[in-house]
Every structure is written in C-alpha cells, then in structure tokens.
Amino acid sequence: MINNQQQTLNGHSQKHRNSCGTSVCELIVKLEGRTPPDLQQYESDAAGGSKGLDHISNKTYDGVTFLQDATPLRDLVKQELAAQRAIMVFIPNAALQPGADGVHAWAVIDYETVNNAQHAVFVSKNSEFGKGEGKWDIIMKIPESLLSQIPASDTLRYEVN
C-alpha cells in the first residue's frame, strides 16, 4: 500500500477547521496512490465544515470506500496493517490533552519499533484556525500494548474498488 509515506504526508494539508475527517480520508486515498499527491478536493466538497462521519462513512472517494467498523482498535489495527491498509480513527481530544474539547481524526499507517516494542504510527494534520496552517504533521507512536486503552469514538477501514 503505502509508498512514499513521508512525501505524501509532507504534501498533504488540512484546509479548514473541523475538516479533519475528510482531510484524513483524502490522505488515505493519496497513500493508496488513487489520486495525485497535491489533491485538495474532498474538504472543499464538504464545504469546509465536515464534522464526524457524514462525509466519509459508506462513501467512495476515487475508488476507495470507507466503512465504519466496530472491531476493537487494537485488533483492527493489526488486521488492516497486516493487509497493508491504513485505518481511520476518531479520538476524543481530551484523551490526548486533558481538558480539550472535541474529537480529531487520525490515520494509523504503520508499525514502528521503538525501544524494542512495536508502536502503531498515528498521523494527522490540524488547521486549528482554518487559515491554511494545516500543513504541520502531527505524529503519535502508541505502543501496541496500549491500543486497547485508546477511547476511539469511531473507527473506519476501507476497501479499494
């Protein structure tokens, strides 16, 4: 699946405030090689106000269909990364930064070994103000053993048609 991950991530941005879901959807489709790396269409189609799953779940973007999945996060990450597919996960911000409001969308794209332990690599972008500052990478490396403790509000896998 994921060729040139860092190059694709570097070229991607979140354009609007509250459009993290469509931004991550677009990132995954780019990582699958289904669109050019400079595509900036999905967030615009969602009118910059994408909140939650309405613009993603059971939708197909450039031959990639996103499906909600209730499989526990740790199991879903193992299953999809073994098949060389990323997953999308929505995590309450307060789980990562106590007191923070809302949720944020992440793509889990790979495993990486850190201190002899396998970590899932979560990536995203953030446009806190909706003024084009959404090019900065946000990367979390979470030990596989802790994935079951992440309070994911929603998870999505995808199929390539």
**What is the pTM (predicted TM-score) of this model?**
0.86
Q: In this predicted model, what pLDDT tens digit does every residue of 111-160 receive, in sequence order? A: 999 999 999 999 888 766 555 556 667 889 999 999 999 999 899 999 99
Task: Please state, in angstroms and rounded to a whole number, the distance separating the CA atoms of residues 98 and 95.
Answer: 6
Cβ atoms of 109 and 31 closer than 8 Å:
yes
- Tell me what pLDDT residue 1 has: 41
Task: Please state, in angstroms and rounded to a whole number, the distance separating the CA atoms of residues 92 and 131.
Answer: 23
Q: Give the CATH number for residue 143.
A: 3.90.70
Find the domain containing 81 and state its range.
5-160
Neighbour-count burial for 54-79, b at 16+ CB within 10 Å, e otherwise: ebbbeeebbebebeebeeebbebbbe
Domain count of the chain? 1
Q: In this predicted model, what pLDDT tens digit does every residue of 38-59 receive, in sequence order? A: 777 776 665 545 556 767 889 8
H-type alpha helices, the chain: 5-11, 20-31, 42-45, 73-82, 93-96
Q: In this predicted model, what pLDDT tens digit does every residue of 76-107 receive, in sequence order? A: 999 999 999 999 999 998 888 888 888 888 99
